[in-house]
Amino acid sequence: MTHALPLLVFSDLDGTLLDHESYSFDPARPALAALDAIGAGVILATSKTAAEVAPLRAALGLSDWPAIVENGAGVLADAVDTETSAYRDIRARLATLPPGFRGFGDMTTEEVAAITGLPMEDAAHARTRAFSEPGIWTGPEAALAPFLAAAEQAGLHHRRGGRFLTFSLGGTKADRMQALIARFAPRLTLALGDAPNDTEMLTAADRGVIVANPHGAPLPALPGEAEGRITRTTRPGPHGWNAAVLALIDQISPNAKGPLNG
């Protein structure tokens, strides 16, 4: 008999499962092991590219699960897709807009490494894009709102993450999440994130966890937070992730044993 998936976790990476400065996930290893022990699934949901996520997914022991990449603009299944027509389209539309935005495609690998803190090889992977263009706003603050309005008129969608402004042709983490929930049919879903581009995913899950981010402004109160469906960690990054996931497993473990796993 095939048993239902007890839990499907959707997790942001930078500042959530990965430490904001070191990019380490070591503090989250106990929770990752506990998830594996109950037969739960973990789907990474990140602004990172497929080229960046593939080795991280393998290091985390999650290669059997798809990953949501480039803020929901695409999904990494088994292998990295090298099709870049959507990315070229985004870059062409950005080129028609007023100046003030510098995307990763406008930067060298050295510049991307400097602003992200990534090693050179990882920065090169961050520039290997297929579905979206992140970057920084360099123009006057007063010109940002008109720029975003012009981008919308050009058919571009934007998301603000923990560090970057990212443009795509549409699709959010929550959009991809719903399709994956329909595919895997878990009994319970959990989403964890720390930035504005995670809010739709957090509110779409059965349970949501806002991971503390001392490097950015706290997220505003979200629907479901007053009722306890969405909670906040006191510790940042993988330390907070680990505590929140273990706490949920403690709550559901009586139902996650026996018929679900045996």
Give how far Cα 114 sits from Cα of 40, 120, 123, 201, Å: 37, 9, 9, 29
Given 168, 203, 237, the domain boundary residue is 168
Same-domain pairing of 70 and 100? no
CATH number of the domain enclosing 90: 3.30.980.20
Where does the pLDDT of residue 253 fall: very low under 50, low under 70, confident under 90, or very high at 90 and above? confident
- Give dist(CA 168, CA 130) in Å, integer: 10
Segment 197-219, tens digit of pLDDT: 899 999 999 999 999 999 888 89
What is the reported pLDDT for 80?
A: 64
Instruction: Tell me the one-letter amino acid at 248.
Output: L
What is the reported pLDDT for 1?
A: 37
**What integer is the mean pLDDT of 45-67?**
93
**What integer is the mean pLDDT of 223-235?**
96
Same-domain pairing of 100 and 207? no
Q: Structural domain of residue 184, as residue ranges? A: 8-79+172-260
What is the reported pLDDT for 71?
A: 83
- Give dist(CA 112, CA 129) in Å, integer: 13
Segment 5-53, tens digit of pLDDT: 999 999 999 999 999 888 899 999 999 999 999 999 999 999 889 989 9
CATH number of the domain enclosing 30: 3.40.50.1000
Give how far Cα 217 sits from Cα of 195, 198, 213, 220, Å: 9, 14, 8, 9
For 126, which DSSP code?
H
Residue of 12, 14, 194, 198 marked active site: 12
Same-domain pairing of 164 and 105? yes
Same-domain pairing of 23 and 146? no
Segment 156-181, tens digit of pLDDT: 999 886 678 999 998 888 999 999 99
**Burial class, 73, CB count within 10 angstroms (exposed 0-12 / middle 13-18 / buried 19+):** buried
Is-catalytic flag, 36?
A: no
Same-domain pairing of 108 and 52? no
